[in-house]
Chain A
Amino acid sequence: DTAVSQTPKYLVTQMGNDKSIKCEQNLGHDTMYWYKQDSKKFLKIMFSYNNKELIINETVPNRFSPKSPDKAHLNLHINSLELGDSAVYFCASSQIRQTRDYGYTFGSGTRLTVV
């Protein structure tokens, strides 16, 4: 009964390809996120959606495009993959009530390797 589930867990692809990562949460949270974790384990926020509305859009190449069809789903599409895109991508969700932050629930991650 996974709270935040991502698919696929591993993704190996060639440079120039387009790929998508899917995320679903069954916690009833209203906010979802994409984070990137590089090889040194640094975590950087990429995007955040609140009730299907984009609220955080950090400095990320426009080859990355998030989509939220409903508040339980947040997908990440990446065009023209580059070697530097290799990383672990984490989806997370949270419930923010009156600006009170209760922390994230993370998915298990998608390890993307571009060859």
Chain B
Amino acid sequence: AQSVTQLGSHVSVSEGALVLLRCNYSSSVPPYLFWYVQYPNQGLQLLLKYTTGATLVKGINGFEAEFKKSETSFHLTKPSAHMSDAAEYFCAVSGGTNAGKSTFGDGTTLTVKP
């Protein structure tokens, strides 16, 4: 079985500050890891993904995440928050026989203060 834990259901940062959203996963097989963003009243949009290869992955809107196998983590960062980054963020894991069956974390609400 696979699982995801997102530490912190709410994160608040000031505009221009570093954004750090934490995700830890559990998987008995090499994982595929994803971050999705959901703006109010919209569907989820894929921000970035780790499949294999380079452990630092870059996504859209200036976000990036680093896969750390030893820490079973896949934290999402952005150097400088923008007001438009305020949204719900979901980390997800799949892999092995569960390729294509993503298990999602409970989400983190990011608030950006002016």
- Write the residues of chain A forming the contact surface with B, with a CB cutoff of 8 angstroms: 4, 31, 40-43, 45, 48, 50, 56, 90, 92, 94, 96, 99-109
Contacts and interface: CB of A to CB of B under 8 A. Distances in A.
A113 B11 CA distance: 29
A100 B51 contact: yes
Contacts, number: 63
B101 A45 contact: yes
A100 B99 contact: yes
B96 interface: yes
B99 A43 contact: no
Interface string B9-43: 00000000000000000000000101010100111
A104 B101 contact: no
Interface residues of B, number: 26
A58 to B, nearest CB: 9
Nearest to A6: B43
A43 B94 contact: no
Given A96-B100, A99-B96, A104 B46 contact: yes
Given A90-B43, A94-B100, A108-B42, 7 more contacts: A41-B107, A42-B104, A43-B44, A101-B32, A101-B99, A101-B102, A103-B49
Given A41-B88, A94-B100, A96-B100, A109 B43 contact: yes
Given A41-B88, A42-B106, A101 B100 contact: yes
A96 B49 CA distance: 14
Given A41-B107, A43-B90, A99-B96, A104 B102 contact: yes
Interface of B: 32, 34, 36, 38, 41-46, 49, 51, 88, 90, 94-97, 99-104, 106-107
A104 B93 CA distance: 12
B98 to A, nearest CB: 9
18 contacts: A41-B106, A43-B44, A43-B90, A45-B102, A50-B100, A90-B44, A96-B99, A96-B100, A99-B97, A100-B99, A101-B94, A101-B99, A103-B32, A103-B49, A104-B46, A105-B46, A108-B43, A109-B42
